[in-house]
């Protein structure tokens, strides 16, 4: 079971070739490979619709998904092979809200909007714009240790300095309040709580990106003066 890019863990992509090799051992032992696409699915990474494709992780046996597929409506889904699905035929299983027609209609409309409004392509373009601006901030501030991610799933790691890369959760907490006061809500993650998680709405535009980068820049400047 793996996220193609760890979300709450700090926006860390899976190491290249790790999952495909791990899956070989798992399947040889009779296990299954599940890709958690709750945060990486539905085009957010820009280059690919699914995170396991973007990360070259191979075809999963099971895919779990939620959140973005409902655009705020509470819903989730599991996709798997016929063989695995049919194995539940002789078991007693149920879901109170499984197959809810309102949720199904909502999910269908969300899929249509993603395609009709080319939101996957927008994630690719706006993500590149974000990365360009954030990399400039990394060069400007010694406290920005790393900027990483794909499409509109980006992490900004804060450190004491770029040489030691010592995590700086105290600085993140201070900047988190400043960005909020300026009108931007950022997520927090990472093992040490020192990584900003940028996973904005897939429909944002260039002006939104410019505003967000300006807010982060001003907040960093004030907090590191």
User: What is the reported pLDDT for 76?
Assistant: 92
Region 125-143: mean pLDDT is 98
Whole-Å CA distances, 172 to 177, 182, 186, 193: 9, 15, 10, 8
User: What is the reported pLDDT for 105?
Assistant: 95
Taking 90 as the threshold, does the pLDDT of residue 92 lie above it? no
168-208 pLDDT, tens digit each: 999 999 999 999 999 999 999 999 999 999 999 999 999 99
User: What is the reported pLDDT for 100?
Assistant: 87
Taking 90 as the threshold, does the pLDDT of residue 88 lie above it? no
Residue 219 and residue 125 share a domain: yes
136-159 pLDDT, tens digit each: 999 999 999 999 999 999 999 999
Structural domains counted in the chain: 2
Q: CATH number of the domain at 185, please.
A: 3.90.1150.10
Region 2-30: mean pLDDT is 94
Q: How far apart are CA 117 and CA 189, in angstroms?
A: 30
Selection from 126, 131, 114, 106 nearest residue 200 by Cα: 126
Q: What domain range includes position 64? A: 5-116
Confidence of residue 25 (pLDDT cuts 50, 70, 90): very high
Residue 110 and residue 14 share a domain: yes
User: What is the reported pLDDT for 73?
Assistant: 93
**What is the pTM for the complete model shown?**
0.91
Residue 134 and residue 63 share a domain: no
User: What is the reported pLDDT for 50?
Assistant: 97
Residue 34 and residue 123 share a domain: no
Taking 90 as the threshold, does the pLDDT of residue 225 lie above it? no
User: What is the reported pLDDT for 95?
Assistant: 80
User: Does residue 87 or residue 221 have the better pLDDT?
Assistant: 221
Residue 150 and residue 102 share a domain: no
User: Where among 116, 149, 167 does a domain terminate?
Assistant: 116
User: Where among 99, 116, 133 does a domain terminate?
Assistant: 116
User: Where among 92, 116, 140 does a domain terminate?
Assistant: 116
Q: CATH number of the domain at 10, please.
A: 3.40.640.10
Region 85-99: mean pLDDT is 82
Taking 90 as the threshold, does the pLDDT of residue 94 lie above it? no
* DSSP secondary structure, 76-123, as one string: EEEEE-HHHHHTTTTS----TTTT-HHHHHHHHHHHHHHHHTTHHHHH
Residue 10 and residue 108 share a domain: yes
Region 77-98: mean pLDDT is 87
What's the chain's average pLDDT? 95
Taking 90 as the threshold, does the pLDDT of residue 99 lie above it? no
């Amino acid at each position: 079971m793996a996220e193609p890019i760890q979300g709450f863990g700090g926006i860390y992509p899976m190491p290249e070739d790790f999952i495909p090799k791990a899956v070989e051992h798992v399947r040889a032992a009779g296990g299954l490979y599940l890709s958690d696409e709750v945060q990486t699915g539905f085009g957010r990474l820009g280059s690919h619709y699914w995170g396991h494709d973007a990360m070259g992780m191979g075809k999963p046996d099971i895919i779990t998904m939620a959140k973005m597929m409902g655009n705020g409506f509470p819903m989730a889904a599991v996709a798997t092979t016929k063989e695995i699905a049919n194995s539940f035929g002789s078991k007693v299983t149920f879901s109170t809200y499984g197959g809810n027609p309102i949720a199904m209609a909502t999910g269908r409309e969300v899929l249509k909007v993603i395609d009709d409004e080319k939101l996957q392509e927008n994630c690719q373009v706006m993500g590149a714009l974000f990365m360009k601006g954030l990399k400039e901030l990394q060069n400007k501030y010694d406290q920005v240790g790393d900027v990483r991610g794909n499409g509109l799933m980006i992490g900004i790691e804060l450190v004491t300095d770029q040489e030691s890369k010592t995590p700086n959760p105290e600085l993140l907490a201070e900047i988190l309040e400043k960005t909020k006061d300026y009108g931007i809500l950022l997520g927090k993650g990472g093992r040490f709580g020192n990584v900003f998680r940028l996973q904005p709405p897939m429909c944002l535009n260039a002006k939104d990106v410019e505003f967000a980068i300006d807010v982060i820049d001003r907040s960093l400047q004030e907090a590191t003066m």
